[in-house]
Amino acid sequence: MNYLNSIYRTFFISLSLLFVINACTELEENPGAVQLAPGTLTSVETLEALITGMYRTVQNEARWSNFFIAGYSGDDITTFSGGNKVGFREADWRAQTPASDRLVRAYRGAYNMIAIANTAINAKEAIEGDREIIDRLIGETHFMRAFAYLHLTRTYGEVPVQLNVNDPQILRKASFQELYELIEADLLEAERLLPDVYPGIQATGIRPSKGAAKAFLARLYMHWAGFPLNESDKYGLAATKSKEVIDGGFGYDLSPSLRSMWTVGNRFAHSEGVFTMVFCDEVCGTGNRTTGRLGLPLEAKGWSETFGEIAFFEDMEAAAMAEGTTTRFEDTYVLEVLPRGDEPNGAEWRNFDIEPHPILRKVVGGDMSEVSVVNSTNNAINRYFMRYADVLLTYAEASGRSGNSSTEAWEALNKVRRRAAGLDPNIAAPSIDITSGDLAELAFTERKWELAGEFERWHDLVRTNRVVEAFANRSPDEAVDVVNSKTPETSGKYLYFSPIPQAELDNSPQLND
């Protein structure tokens, strides 16, 4: 408990935090507005309180599945065929309209983060105090503004940009080029200002470092190189930035166990988090509401919100058996028998009567004996916005796509493969290692398996323009489709990106397509 308290003591700095939270609870027509009296932000203490409010905003938004609504479109994730999951189903089928349910949180939540970041960035010249601390905190605001805009554009495509507090100008949609340039500029500034290792934090990723800024630059360049702009020269930049993370001494490393990262007991016993949101159901009262019962079916007393898709499960199982990477497969899915009603012997997922879906261990919890997690809808499992495995695979894929399939790039791929086989990632394994072939495609496929169930697969499908191809592989037994006599759309204006929510269009009609 002392360690958790040391992490979260910053969440309770002072009552001055209240003006931040209260100011950012609603997003009307102006996503940059925040009510802070002019001249208030002049001290390090006030800036720290503002940054605290920024992270509490991230925590409050990312604790809900709605924040990751786009991820339900990936071929790795699906939802329940009935109940109140219609918003997730429409994302699953790419059948969204501006009036669709569950579209608002990702939009308003990201702009709330941006509003707080803008407040700090706009006032930075007036802040007095220790310059090193001020630079670090301002670096965090640039990082978080970039994070929020990247989340927005990956979810909704072209969205408004607001960089000044209480700017009266009428909002307009920015182009992908404008958005990417803004995100790049913020991440480069964060890279300049942030320390190599964040002081006073005992686990990597809990607060962003210079390495996190570089890693997110690599993610940005992967999207820039792919659909819709297709500026392929950016693959070289993605490879360069991810290699700088690998070589930079930022403290990242692969966890010996993938499964333990999704437990409460071992969530800090590794250095794989590049940017991580830590939840604290007991310490601060803000737990993760995307995990535990959210991934269990009704018959196992679950809330039936986030499941695996059948075809993806079967393909991963076959690949794991063929390649000897069954450890990762078993760390990704719950294959044990689960309780079902009054039957003490329970059932494997295929034998549930109401909804046969693969059960994602990354959602339910890595350790089924942690009943405080598995049987909860509010727990302390971490949310990994980026893991070091992602960086390694980005380096491998970007190197291949930029025509530089180096020995180091193959080694980055093989480190992930070794861990997937339950082996030491840093020791060569001839039976697992790959040293020839199409490095880019091999790394892309490895990302498919490694990041399954983490709401990232959809964005990989979009940037490589493989959405329709993935939908064609959908299982004919997929209950969400069968029960509703519906299958995913393969065309239409919202195939790749979700619409801006109707409530925001009502406030700003000029944002209508």
Q: Please determine, for residue 18, whether its predicted confidence score (pLDDT) is greater than 50.
A: no
- Within a domain: 167: yes
CA angle 51–54–59, rounded 5-degree value: 130
| Residue ranges of E strands in 267-321 | 273-277, 307-308
Model confidence band, residue 347 (pLDDT cutoffs 50, 70, 90):
confident
Q: Which of 328, 344, 374 is the last residue of a domain?
A: 374
Q: Considering the chain, what percentage of its residues have pLDDT values greater than 90?
A: 83
2 by Cβ neighbours in 10 Å (0-12 / 13-18 / 19+) ranks as: exposed
Task: Tell me the residue range of the domain where 303 lies.
Answer: 292-374
pLDDT tens profile 207-237: 999 999 999 999 999 999 999 999 999 999 9
Supply the pLDDT for residue 17: 36
Residue 271: name the closest of 334, 194, 222, 211 by CA: 211
Give CA–CA dist 501/155, Å, rounded: 12
Question: Left, alpha or beta for 360 (phi > 0: left; psi -120 to 50: alpha)?
Answer: beta
pTM to 2 decimal places = 0.92
| Tally of domains within the chain | 2
Is residue 88 a contact partner of residue 134, using CB atoms and an 8 Å limit?
no
Strand, helix or coil at 388?
helix
Q: Which of 160, 194, 228 is the last residue of a domain?
A: 194
Comparison of pLDDT for 496 and 169, the residue scoring more? 496
Measure CA of the first residue to CA of the last residue in the chain; give whole Å.
Answer: 50
Model confidence band, residue 341 (pLDDT cutoffs 50, 70, 90):
low
Provide the residue count of the chain: 513
Give CA–CA dist 439/413, Å, rounded: 9
Partners of 343 in the β-ladder: 340
The pairing of beta strand 77-78 with beta strand 307-308: antiparallel
Q: Enter the tokens of residue 29.
A: 């027509």
- Within a domain: 71: yes
Contacts of 448 (CB under 8 A, 6+ apart): 76, 316, 457, 460
Contacts of 69 (CB under 8 A, 6+ apart): 87, 88, 91, 102, 103, 105, 106, 155, 498
Residue 194: name the closest of 153, 146, 230, 257 by CA: 146
- Within a domain: 331: yes
- Within a domain: 185: yes
pLDDT tens profile 390-415: 999 999 999 999 999 999 999 999 99
209 secondary structure, DSSP code: -
Task: Assign residue 46 the CATH number of its domain.
Answer: 1.25.40.390
Q: Please determine, for residue 451, whether its predicted confidence score (pLDDT) is greater than 80.
A: yes
Q: Which of 356, 374, 392 is the last residue of a domain?
A: 374
Residues 188 and 322 in one domain: no
- Within a domain: 246: no
pLDDT tens profile 257-274: 999 999 999 999 999 999
- Within a domain: 190: yes
Supply the pLDDT for residue 33: 43
Return the residue matching tokens 């997110």: 216
For the packed helices 176-193 and 210-225, what is the interaxial angle rounded to 10 degrees?
A: 160
